[in-house]
Amino acid sequence: MHILVTGGAGYIGGITVRTLLDAGHSVAVLDSLIHGHREAVDPRARFIHGDVGDSESVRDALEGCDAVLHCAGLIEVGESQRDPLAYWDANVARPITLLREMQSSGVRALVFSSTAAVYGEPEVVPIPEDAAPKPVSAYGETKLAFEKMIVAAEAASDLRAIRLRYFNVAGAWPDGSLGEAHEPETHIIPRIFSSIAEEDLEFEIYGDDYETADGTCVRDYIHVCDLAQAHRLALERLGGGGTGGVFNLGSGSGFSNLEVVTACGKAAQAAIEVTIGPRRPGDPARLVAQSDRARAELGWTPMRTDLATIVEDAWRWHSS
Ligand SMILES: NC(=O)c1ccc[n+]([C@@H]2O[C@H](COP(=O)([O-])OP(=O)(O)OC[C@H]3O[C@@H](n4cnc5c(N)ncnc54)[C@H](O)[C@@H]3O)[C@@H](O)[C@H]2O)c1
């Protein structure tokens, strides 16, 4: 297949582009580089420096494509609360141009990077795909709004779309050559490794009085390479004429913040001193995916599910 990956200079896009190329697909990348890195784009891909809201760049990027993977967007929950309009613009308004240009150039297959943030504070854990979405941040609201737009476009046309709701994405390409480089960084694993690199061995966990085994919050970590394989399978399903739908992508098991800090310390051979700060508002005790649907319907088998592998791969990237 020939696939356009928007946001292919970012963390997840960059790893997925490499995975698609390794599987024999050809790839074009459209990225504004507002947060991505030009050097994260595999040299085998055609790179178009442009915005998903710019018709001319999108038309150029769609040339000869069979499918689109839409990863581009703004991703930071805290920032989305401070500047919601930036998020509605980047995650909803601009990608309408992408949908319109796909329609006029006859590209009818779409995979969309959505998020567990659409669920908000869930009533049932592990969270199934049919749980009622109730986002608690502007980030989650905008990702859900774009999902709804896709569903509406599917109902009104021959578009087929797969919406992938990721849980906590972590890890790096196993040889340490490509990984997570967000600025600012809000994800726990890269933040722990940054403080180790700065020789600051103290790390604060937000709250230890949750109803979990060790009292700290539990999250579902999915290795970015497993995530990339799920994207490949989703794109190939659409390429083979398969139907769209919505799928959670997580490992189905959770690790506590304390377990994550301990595993990172072990991987980096650093004695991290944990301090306990106050709870953050809106942090549920446990967020774990029910992701059987992806396994059953996409034929997806995550391979790098244990915490030690995830953090060791991340450390190889951060320490290089
Ligand atoms: N990282 C996670 O844990 C996580 C979890 C759930 C969902 N997601 C979703 O996955 C996607 C990718 O996340 P990531 O961690 O790789 O983020 P990232 O910031 O590393 O990558 C996003 C890329 O999109 C580009 N971009 C942003 N706005 C653009 C625009 N208007 N036009 C063109 N390019 C634009 C940025 O330059 C960047 O390269 C996002 O849509 C995010 O919502 C990520």
- Per-residue model confidence as pLDDT tens digits over 185-222: 889 999 999 989 888 889 999 999 999 999 999 999 99
What percent of the chain shows pLDDT beyond 70?
Answer: 100
Q: What are the CA-CA distances from residue 168 to residues 79, 196, 252, 297 (Å)? A: 18, 21, 11, 21
List ligand 1's pocket residues with C-beta within 6 A. 6-7, 9-13, 30-36, 51-53, 71-73, 75, 90, 94, 113, 115, 143, 166, 168-169, 182
C-alpha 36 to ligand 1 mean position (Å): 8
Q: Tell me the H-state helices in 123-223.
A: 138-156, 188-197
Tokens 């869930």 belong to: 122
Catalytic residue at 206? no
Average pLDDT for 38-54: 98
Residue entry with tokens 């991340």: 314
Question: For residue 118, how far is the Cα from the chain centroid?
Answer: 13
* Token pair belonging to 290: 């029910």
Q: How far is CA 307 from CA 26, 171, 267, in A?
A: 32, 9, 10
Q: Residue 31: count other Cβ atoms within 10 Å of its Cβ.
A: 29
Give the start-to-end residue ranges of the domains of the chain.
Answer: 2-169+221-249, 171-219+252-319
* Spatial contact of 163 and 247, defined as CB atoms under 8 Å apart: yes
Domain 2-169+221-249 bears CATH identifier 3.30.830.10: no
* Residues 235 and 311: beta-carbon distance below 8 Å: no
Of 67, 74, 73, 27, the residue nearest 52 (C-alpha): 73
Is the predicted pLDDT of residue 167 greater than 90, yes or no?
Answer: yes
Q: What is the crossing angle of helices 94-105 and 55-62, to 10°?
A: 40
What confidence tier does 261 reach under pLDDT thresholds 50, 70, 90?
very high
| Atom of ligand 1 lying closest to residue 170 CA | 3
Distance CA 304, CA 230 (A): 13
Q: Pick from 70, 71, 74: which is nearest to 86 by CA?
A: 74
Place of tokens 């609201």: 141
What CATH number belongs to 171-219+252-319? Answer: 3.90.25.10
Of residues 40, 45, 34, 37, the one with CA closest to residue 4: 45
* Cα gap 208→217, rounded to integer Å: 8
- pLDDT score, position 252: 87
What pLDDT digit, counting tens, does each position of 84-102 carry?
Answer: 999 999 999 999 999 999 9
Best CA proximity match to 198, nearest among 272, 125, 127, 140: 272
Over residues 1-29, the mean pLDDT reads 98
- Per-residue pLDDT averaged across 281-296, rounded? 92
Tell me the average pLDDT of the chain: 96
Mutate to test the pocket of ligand 1, among 113, 139, 185 (most ligand atoms within 8 A of CB): 113
pLDDT at residue 69 tops 90: yes
**Percent of the chain scoring above 90 in pLDDT:** 92
Q: What is the pLDDT of residue 182?
A: 87
**Given 11, 87, 139, 166, the catalytic residue:** 139
Whether the predicted model's global pTM rises above the 0.85 cut: yes
- Atom 27, ligand 1: which residue's CA is nearest? 73
Ligand 1 atom with minimal separation from the 166 CA: 6
The pLDDT-based confidence of 132 (bands split at 50, 70, 90) is very high
Ligand 1 centre to CA of 269 (Å) is: 31
Average of per-residue pLDDT across 170-197: 93
Query: What is the rounded radius of gyration, in angstroms, for the C-alpha atoms of the chain?
Result: 19
